[in-house]
Amino acid sequence: MKTLLIIDVQNDFMPGGALPVPDGDKIVPVINSMQHKFDLVVATQDWHSKDHASFASNHKGASIFDEIEIHGKPQTLWPDHCVQGTKGAELHPNLETLKFEAIFRKGTDKEIDSYSAFYDNSHLKSTGLTGYLKEKGTSQLFICGLASDICVYYSIYDAFKEGFACFFIEDASKPLNTEEFKEIKKKMINLGIQMTSSKSI
């Protein structure tokens, strides 16, 4: 079964949002245009509590994008974003969701961040996505969304480790940091992740 996994296409990651990804809104029509090509469509939402440990505002004297350590792991401090129940956490209003069979929420534990759609950053807690996809019979997993260099990359990495044949849809994804993503893309290619586009599927 050919599955599309759409990562975090939420208002806070759009231009004007709390943590904007450059041109993040440009991927919405691309994602809409290709959903009909898949047997199964699944999405994720970043879904944080107000007191989330990854927010700079919850660390006295800290600044946005500072690097600290939480539970022995490096943690980038982010602006408050995708807070549960807020407009910023909602999916982009123009994103077509009728084909979505499930939405998996991540980053719900206030003590630890969760970039990946599959696990938190310490791999202590699963979202249940692996089991869901395997039960549905997913063989090929096509992944897109925001941001290419963070949540999309970590989701692809975990999906690959879970045994899925993984495809990264380049024109349906955007990075937060273009320069860093150049190196990350090389890592993905070296792993065996296949690069594709919405028109090639």
Cα 37 from Cα 12, distance rounded (Å): 28
DSSP H helices in 63-137: 129-136
Residues 6+ apart with CB under 8 A from 186: none
Cβ distance 178 to 150 under 8 Å?
A: no
Does domain 2-49+87-196 fall under CATH 3.40.50.850? My reply is yes
If you ran DSSP here, which 8-state letter would residue 65 be given? Answer: T
Residues facing 194 on adjacent strands:
167
8 Å CB contact between 185 and 173: no
User: For residue 139, what pLDDT is reported?
Assistant: 93
pLDDT of residue 53: 93
Q: Around 19, how many Cα atoms within 13 Å sit in the side-chain half-sphere?
A: 26
Q: How far apart are CA 2 and CA 166, in angstroms?
A: 10
Give CA–CA dist 78/98, Å, rounded: 31
The DSSP call for residue 37 is: G
Q: Which residues are catalytic?
A: 8, 106, 151
Stated as kind and residue range, the H or E segment containing 69 is strand 67-70
Q: What ranges make up the beta strands (E) of 58-122?
A: 67-70, 73-76, 100-106
Give the CA dihedral 192, 195, 199, 201, nearest 10 degrees. 10
CB of 165 within 8 A of CB of 137? no
For residue 101, what pLDDT is reported? 98
Ordered by start, the domain boundaries in the chain are: 2-49+87-196
- Measured CA angle at 130 (ends 88, 74), to 5 deg: 60
Q: How far apart are CA 176 and CA 76, in angstroms?
A: 13
pLDDT (tens, 9 = 90+) of the chain, 201 residues, equals: 999 999 999 999 999 999 999 999 999 999 999 999 999 999 999 999 999 999 999 999 999 999 998 888 899 999 999 999 999 999 999 999 999 999 999 999 999 999 999 999 999 899 999 999 999 999 999 999 999 999 999 999 999 999 999 999 999 999 999 999 999 999 999 999 999 999 999
Q: Rounded to 10 degrees, what is the CA torsion of 29, 174, 138, 135? A: -100
Check residue 72 and give its pLDDT: 85
pTM above 0.85, yes or no: yes
